[in-house]
Structure 1
Amino acid sequence: MALKKSDLYSSLWAGADELRGGMDASQYKDYVLTLLFVKYVSDKVKADPYADVEVPEGGSFDDLVALKGKADVGEQVNVAIRRLADANDLQGIINTADFDDPDKLGKGKELVDRLTKLIGIFQDLDFSGSKAEGDDLLGDAYEYLMRHFASESGKSKGQFYTPAEVSRVMASLIGIKPDTPKSATVYDPTCGSGSLLLKVADAAPNGLTIYGQEKDNATRALAVMNMHLHGNGTADIRQGDTITSPQFTWSDESLQLFDFLVANPPFSVKSWSSGLENNYGRFDGYARPPEKNGDYAFLLHMIKSLKSTGKGAVILPHGVLFRGNSEATIRKELIKRGYIKGIIGLPANLFYGTGIPACIIVLDKEDAQARTGIFMIDASKGFTKDGNKNRLRPRDTHQIVDTFVNQKTIDRYSRMVPVTEIADPKNDFNLNIPRYIDSSEPEDIQDLGAHINGGIPNRDLDALQPYWDAFPALRSTLFKPLREGYSELAVDKTDVPATITGSNEYQALVARSNQAIKKWWDAHREALRGITPTTRPNELIAELGKSLLETFRPSPLIDEYGVYERLMTYWNDVMHDDVALVMSEGWDDAAMPRSARILGYDKNKKPKYELAHITFGTGTKAQRWVMDLVPPELIVARCFAKEQAELDAQDAAVEAAGQAIEEYVEEHAVEEGLLFDATDDDGKVTNKTATARLRAAKAEGDDGEEIKVLVHVIGLFKAETAAKKATKEARLKLDQLTLKQYAQLTTADIQSLVINDKWGARVVAGVHAERGALIQKLVQRLNVLGARYEQTVVDLDAEVDELSAKVAEHLAAMGVTL
């Protein structure tokens, strides 16, 4: 069966788990990624004898499998990987990890067992149907490992990876066009594991010619492997310090120039100038960067490395925007030359190795002298928490790109800032974003006049203008004038939600949005039905997302980015795996039930199975069925609604029987109650204890009341048992009918179930949820305003007087005179 993204991720992280303890994350990533590479290229050659990689005899993953359990497994794995490296000119790239290192992997049997398990984990994966250059499943897996390794490597070793979301944003900002030729060059002078370069190349329809430099040789090895895994094996990745020893130079010692540039250099390096002998003209015309901070040294290197029409994007700490002295001098010159096209402020805690906020500086030398402004975006508020880091959501990345590319002015988010404003003496070429964009939320002002005299200030209602634009008559329905500048609710507070949702205007919005989502989905049905092995999932979801944004962009009130976020979340969670299954197996085979896989074994060597949708029997002999593409509930909803209703009724009967027992026992099992003697050591009454007590009561000749109660409760237990039996039989019948129905499905049935009932229903539900959230937000705000000014100062004074009178009355009754 096809390899699902979720399964691949869990298997790879299980591989990492096998190596924990003996080394930290910055080391064990080399072992896991090396085996991932060997497995991938071995499977690739099996599937394609003409692949651009050679797997020599004794250098395949099958050869590693043959070494499992052998005493010299570590030594022989090193030999096999070295053979693969020699055959493909990858010496020092894939054979950097020592699989025979007792200090990291253990000694003797411990090392043998650990490597045997590790090889076994990769052995169960099948990459023969995966293409990194197509679906990018393997590339995504590499990204997954990079992210997790970076997260666990600590502050000093997590800088080899740029979060994929940030990389995609940068790739979209540097001006790659549909007709940009593959011969166009892209350069990253601090390329780390190469993920940023690959995202840029992926954004170019024709690809790009890739160049990169990385100071750390082990990290360079990761980058070279990454390039091969993504089908960019010709990328030129070199090792060395970019500032003191740039590798891409001409014979006259001038820097090589590139069409595009992206970089995420280490922040604020203090020793950047150590060993610096040749400036390569990088600082000519500028001040020299400060000796204890290398941010501008990297930036000037990048600017010098761009052609006269070159474009780039670089991540730097916010300090470069406002720090003084020599950095202020450099910044002023860059602004005057027009090289800075835009600045995007990012959320804090996005990057590994630091928690400080950073920004993307967009560079563009083309027509730089004619540039009269810098486009700024404050995107610092848009993110989600992911463990101990923050991450950009799909909606955040898309909004940044859409806003920048189209130069949209959005209140408290983005605007074009004229150079004249930046150069004004009050700003003095300071680029700190808050100087030009106030992203703070408006203060929620308390109105003293309203607190004293009542009413809701009209200015608070005016702040909800987007709702009144969407529902022009709603404001006058909900509110009526009270006095100049103030209004009051025309309906009861509890009736506000129903008044909104019951209005004709809201119903019209619902109808329009429902029609819009239906029209959008209908327009893509044919493309979804046409999924084949050649489908490119990333392009498919990109088109779906783009057209969804276009569909809801003109819609009043509904946030198109919120709808987009719900689609992308569902794609990442479910739909991507479904598409991969259909690509690999076709609609018919992908929909068929399969036996649940064994995930491992417990300490008693009993198998642990993946969660099954339908199970017949128990234990190791049970039949466990998994339905990856078409879950049973879809079949039941369409074909067996009557049987499901019967099962629901049986479930309700079981619940009612249990409730009856609980209520009866609670009434009679109290101390000195008629069921008290039927309780066990935990104070519970069971069928067993009640039956035993009934026998004893009869033998003791007790009065009839206790026997009557015992007989009744035993009857309740029997009724519950009978209900459970009926439920079990009904569930078994439904499961059997459902399993049998899969064999009756036609291709058209499967496509309808998946496209309409599974994918379509979930996307429509997402739109409904987004619409509901917007209305809930309005209701909450109106409730806050209504409650805030519901009682005036006069009302409160009257209430105080009333309570004071009551206190005085009670005191007088007690003989206390005030």
Structure 2
Amino acid sequence: MAIKKTELYSSLWAGCDELRGGMDASQYKDYVLTLLFLKYISDKYAGDPNGIIFVPEGASFDELATLKGDKEIGDKINKVISKLAEENDLKGAIDIADFNDEDKLGKGKEMIDRLSKLVGIFDGLDLSANRAEGDDLLGDAYEYLMRHFATDSGKSKGQFYTPAEVSRILAKVVGITPETRQDATVYDPTCGSGSLLLKVADEAPNGLTIYGQEMDNSTWSLARMNMFMHNNPTADIRKDNTLSSPYWKNPDGSLKTFDFAVANPPFSYKSWSNGVNLTNDEFQRFEYGVPPGKNGDYAFLLHILKSLKSTGKAAVILPHGVLFRGNAEARIRQNLVTQGYIKGIIGLPPNLFYGTGIPACIIVIDKASAQQRQGLFMVDASKGFMKDGNKNRLRSQDIHKIVDVFNNQIECPRYSRMVSLDEIAANDYNLNIPRYIDSSEPEDIHDLSAHLNGGIPNADIDALEDYWKVFPQMRSALFAPSQRPGYSQSLVEASQVKGTILNHPEFTAFTQKTLALYQDWRKHHQGRLKEIAIGDKPKVLIESLAEDLLARFAQADLLDKYDIYQLLMDYWAETMQDDVYLLVQDGWKVGKGLRELVVKKGEKLKETVDLTIGKKKYKTDLIPPGLIVARYFADKQQHLDELQADCDAITQELEALIEEHTGEEGALTDAQSDKGNVTKTNLKKLIGETTKQLSIFDEDESSVEGEQLAVLERCLELFDLEAEKKKAVKDTQEALDKAVFAKYPKLTEDEIKVLLVEDKWEATLEATISAEIERMTQQLANRVKDLEERYAEPLPQLVDEVEALSGKVDEHLRRMGLEWN
């Protein structure tokens, strides 16, 4: 059975990180990613005379696998990689990491063990069954590892990687369409590991010709390998300083121009001017102004502008300072705006990037429409993100909303607007986004008159107009006009607001209408989901599902369509992606599967146990046992639940009895052990002693001793009943587990489809959408409750209450013979 995609990636990272030792992540990545590249090349092209890379005899990953434990493993790995590099003109690209470096990998046995285990991690990957998505499996693993290495590399060392979420935005706003021709070119002058270029290439169904340049030797090496890993072997990535020594030039020495450009240059690069002729740049990049000598942000932007064709388009990530800094940068900014080159600006959240925590923006350039441009489209997307460890991260919904709004020039309150060039000129060409978009939430202002005289301001109730449009009768159920014009009174106590809303027929109708949108979507796609076949493309599937869900919920009242979209994308990332990935590799038969979890002595289970049969523990990869139980053994589960409820009731009675009769002179105190627990052994002994005492003194059951004996006997009875019920629960649970275990191999393909598609995927999504409706309701209930509580007691009433309480205090003091002036 093929391994789940997320499990593959997490196990790769965990294994590699464990072997890192004290080495810096920014260095260790070169070793790990080189081995992953060699594994990929060997699996894909070894023995293929027509492959894009020739794998000579003795230069495949199989050769490395034989070196485990070898005293010269480091040197021999170097020779294997060197041989592959020489045969494919990859010297200096894939052989940068020195696997015989004792300073980094340790000496003697330490190096042998570390490299042997590292090779073993990749050698243990059985990728023969992983047919889904072709090259994306290991290509995405490469991307996954780079992101984790960037996270661990710290400030200034993680700049080799642009977060994939940000890369997707640039790729989607730069102007590529399904009609973009295959011979169109895309360029990244600071391409890092190439992840940004690859995201752009993904947006071009016909393909693109890729050009890049990177100054750092190690990062350039990553980019070369990354292109092969993502099936873009013809991408031309060159190594040198873009500003001082641009590689891409025409025969006459001028800069080569491209159809598209994307870039994430180093922010505020101080030494950008080294080797650059600022007064007479041979490439004429600074015709709109020379950037400051200690800040290279505009140097990169002007280089990109010069590298675009007359109809070229670009998207560049730069720090927010480029929007408002003065002096030389202000002059450049004014010239770019008046020339009409800037199509728009997208403000991003802070702390997204691995090299810095400062907020950044995306400058979108479009030369094609420069002369007709009358304004810039601005987006303030700074509020949309989630926390991911010590960084912020864009969610799927944040990316989709930014792209939709920008590409369609949709104006949204507090989020986006078209700003005229005249308005920008009136602001001295300062492009700082908060000057044009106020993204702050409206202030919740208290009404002093309402605090003084009572009543709820109609203005506050009117502010909930979006709700009243959907629930026109609910407002009159919650509020009624008061005698004061402009104010209302609450008809429902604060504690009853939510219940009133939930029970209102308009809310019931709203819930049914909203869920109908989901149910129609479910019916439309259910057949497609049940037809998933080996070799299908999971990414294509989720894109079609998500886009249709988004389109349908654009019709929903009150709910944000992007929130609903995110629910699906979260479930896809957490669960559904792995399920689909298994299906497209092994087919529906994988639903029958149960894996026995075998743990070596001294180790702990790394996976949660789904089913225990005797001493054996099992894990299901597709269909949890709970789904089998719910569909086929609901009666047995009900019986088990009833037994458990009876057992819990007995346990509660026993605990209450012990709590009541322990402590000083309690009937059960002497039945406690040294640890403070009442035991059956002590109970029996105490019952015998008490019975004997009653017999000797001929006392009846109504005596103190008789009452104590009754408590003791009841406690012992409850212990026996609890043990009996626990055994019944255990036996019933074991019988149910055996029935479920026996059902798995008997499942038909149709049964598996129902369990997975209907009972797991669709039921889970419906529950999450219902929860989102509940969340929306809670927002309305909370606001109504806040208003009711805020103005419930006007100031005169509070004054009267204070005076009444003060009078009571004075009266008490007088009775005590005290006076308080």
TM-score norm. by structure 1 comes to 0.95
- 1:253–1:499 CA distance, 2 compared to 1 (3 A): same
Task: Summarize the alignment of residues 311-322 of structure 1 with structure 2, pairs less than 5 Å apart.
Answer: 311-322=313-324
Residue in 2 aligned with 1:648? Answer: 641
Q: 1:656-688 CA distances to partner (integer Å, 9 max, x unpaired)? A: 232222112112221322222222222122335
SS, match of residue 275 in structure 2: coil
1:242 and 2:242 are equivalent in the alignment: yes
Partners of 1:132 and 1:591 lie apart in 2 by 17
SS in 2 for 1:653: helix
Quote how far apart the aligned CAs of 1:699 are: 9.1
3-state SS, counterpart of residue 139 of structure 1: helix
Corresponding residue of 1:531: 532
Please give the alpha-carbon distance, in whole angstroms, between the structure 1 residues aligned to 2:477 and 2:678. 58
Per mean C-alpha deviation after superposition, the further-off stretch among 605-614 and 648-657 is 605-614
Is 1:170 matched with 2:170?
yes
- Deviates most, 290-299 or 207-216: 207-216
State how 1:184-263 maps to structure 2 within 5 Å: 184-263=184-263
Q: 1:720 to 1:256 in 2, by over 3 A?
A: same
1:610 to 607, 611, 621: 607
> Would the alpha carbon gap of residues 552 and 800 (structure 1) be closer, same or farther in structure 2, given more than 3 Å must change?
same
Alignment partner of 1:440: what SS? coil
Measure how far apart 1:718 and its partner are. Answer: 2.1
Distance 1:221 1:770, change over 3 A: same
CA distance in 2, matches of 1:23, 1:311: 41
Q: How many Å apart are 1:605 and its aligned residue? A: 4.3
Q: Give the match's secondary structure for 2:69.
A: coil
Flag the 1:15–1:83 CA change in 2: closer, same or farther, 3 A.
Answer: farther
Equivalence for 1:115: 115
Please state how far the C-alpha of 1:93 moved relative to its aligned partner: 2.3
TM superposition shift of 1:716 = 2.0
Tell me, in whole angstroms, the C-alpha distance in 2 between the residues paired with 1:643 and 1:275: 80
Instruction: Give the 3 Å change call, closer, same or farther, for CA 199–718 of structure 1 in structure 2.
Output: same
**SS of residue matched to 2:371:** helix
- Write the deviation string for residues 352-379 of structure 1: whole angstroms up to 9, x where unpaired: 1111111001111102110111000000
Q: Is the 8 A contact 1:187 1:212 kept in 2?
A: yes
Pair 1:520 & 2:521 matched: yes
TM-superposed CA distance for 1:773, in Å, is: 0.8
2:342 is equivalent to residue 340 of structure 1: yes
Letter of the 2:472 partner, please give it. Answer: P
Q: Which moved more, 1:321-330 or 1:59-68?
A: 59-68
In structure 1, stretches of 5+ residues that fail to align are none
Distance in 1, matches of 2:666 and 2:773, equals 55
Query: Which residue is equivalent to 2:661?
Result: 668
**Which residue, out of 603, 611, 625, partners 2:618?**
625
Using the TM superposition, give the Cα deviation of residue 785 of structure 1 relative to its aligned residue in structure 2, in angstroms. Answer: 0.9
CA deviation after TM superposition for structure 1 residue 797, in Å: 0.6
Matches within 5 A, 1:44-59: 44-45=44-45, 51-59=51-59
Distance 1:776 1:271, change over 3 A: same
Q: Which amino acid aligns with 2:334?
A: K
State how far apart, in whole Å, the 2-side matches of 1:18 and 1:65 are. Answer: 20
SS of the aligned residue for 1:445 comes to: coil
Paired AA for residue 661 in structure 2? H
Pair 1:406–1:120, CA change in 2 (3 A): same
How far does residue 345 in structure 1 lie from its aligned partner after superposition? 0.5
Give the match's secondary structure for 2:12.
helix
* Contact kept in structure 2, 1:255 and 1:280, CA below 8 Å: no
1:470 & 1:755 partners in 2: Cα distance? 33
Alpha-carbon offset, residue 114 of structure 1: 1.7
Which residue of 2 is the match for residue 300 of structure 1?
302
Question: What is aligned with 2:582?
Answer: 581
Asked if 1:285 corresponds to 2:290, the answer is no
CA distance in 1, matches of 2:651, 2:214: 67
Give the stretch that moved more between structures: 361-370 or 278-287: 278-287
Maintained 8 Å contact 1:373/1:418:
yes
| 2:672 partner amino acid | T
CA positional deviation for 1:711: 3.9
Q: CA deviation at 1:84?
A: 2.9
Alpha-carbon offset, residue 50 of structure 1: 5.6
Separation of aligned partners in 2, 1:343 and 1:505? 42
Q: Which of 673, 687, 690 is the aligned partner of 1:680?
A: 673
Measured after TM superposition, the shift of residue 609 of structure 1 is 5.4
Rounded to whole Å, the distance in 2 between the matches of 1:266 and 1:665 is 69
Aligned-partner Cα distance in 1 for 2:718–2:120: 53
* Alpha carbons 2:494, 2:785 under 8 Å: kept: yes
Aligned Cα root-mean-square deviation (Å): 2.1
Report the equivalent of 2:699. none
Aligned to 2:793: 791
Contact 1:40–1:127 (Cα < 8 Å) also in 2: no
SS at match of 2:587: helix
| Counterpart AA for 2:407 | V
Report the counterpart of residue 759 of structure 1 in structure 2.
761
Q: 1:752 to 1:50 in 2, by over 3 A?
A: farther
Number of equivalent positions: 808
Q: What residue is the counterpart of 2:783 in the other structure?
A: 781
- Cα distance in structure 1, aligned partners of 2:689 and 2:16: 62
Distance 1:472 1:71 in 2: 81
* Structure 2 equivalent of residue 409 of structure 1: 411
Equivalent residue of 1:368, what SS? coil
Partner residue in 2 for 1:2: 2
* Alpha-carbon shift at residue 611 of structure 1 (Å): 2.2
Aligned partners of 1:453 and 1:792 also within 8 Å: yes
CA–CA separation in structure 2 for the residues paired with 1:543 and 1:776:
31
Q: Deviations over 1:303-350 (max 9, x none)?
A: 011111111100000110011111111001100111100100011111
Contact 2:135/2:230, CA 8 A, preserved across alignment: no
SS at match of 2:417: strand
Distance in 2 (alpha carbons) for counterparts of 1:308 and 1:356: 33
Q: Distance in 2 between matches of 1:423 and 1:684?
A: 81
Contact 2:622 2:756 (C-alpha < 8 Å) held by counterparts: yes
Mapping for residues 100-499 of structure 1, pairs under 5 Å: 100-130=100-130, 134=134, 136-277=136-277, 279-424=281-426, 427-482=427-482, 483-499=484-500
Query: Counterparts of 1:532 and 1:521 in 2: how far apart (Å)?
Result: 19
1:413 positional shift = 0.5
Tell me if structure 2 keeps the 8 A contact 1:47–1:128.
Answer: no
Alpha-carbon separation, structure 2, partners of 1:721 and 1:50 = 71
Letter in 1 for 2:612: T
Other-structure match for 2:702: none
Asked if 1 retains the 8 angstrom alpha-carbon contact of 2:593 and 2:745, the reply is no
Residues 633-782 of structure 1 mapped to structure 2, 5 A cutoff: 633-691=626-684, 708-782=710-784
Deviates more, 1:752-761 or 1:476-485: 476-485
C-alpha distance in structure 2 between counterparts of 1:223 and 1:585, whole Å:
33
CA distance in 1 between counterparts of 2:806 and 2:257 reads 84
Q: Does the 8 Å contact 2:248/2:256 carry over to 1?
A: yes
What is the rounded CA distance, in whole Å, between the counterparts of 1:486 and 1:634 in structure 2? 53
Asked if the contact 1:286/1:330 (under 8 Å) is kept, the reply is yes
TM-aligned CA distance change 1:43 to 1:685, over 3 Å = farther
- The verdict on how the C-alpha distance between 1:281 and 1:108 changes in structure 2, with shifts beyond 3 A counting, is closer
Distance in 1 between the 2:558 and 2:143 partners?
36
Using the TM superposition, name which of 113-122 and 698-707 deviates more: 698-707
Contact 2:591 2:621 in 1 (8 A): yes
Helix, strand or coil at the partner of 1:743: helix
Q: Do 1:532 and 1:586's aligned partners in 2 also have CA atoms closer than 8 Å?
A: yes
Q: SS state of the match for residue 312, structure 2?
A: strand
Amino acid at match of 1:252: D
SS of residue matched to 2:353? coil
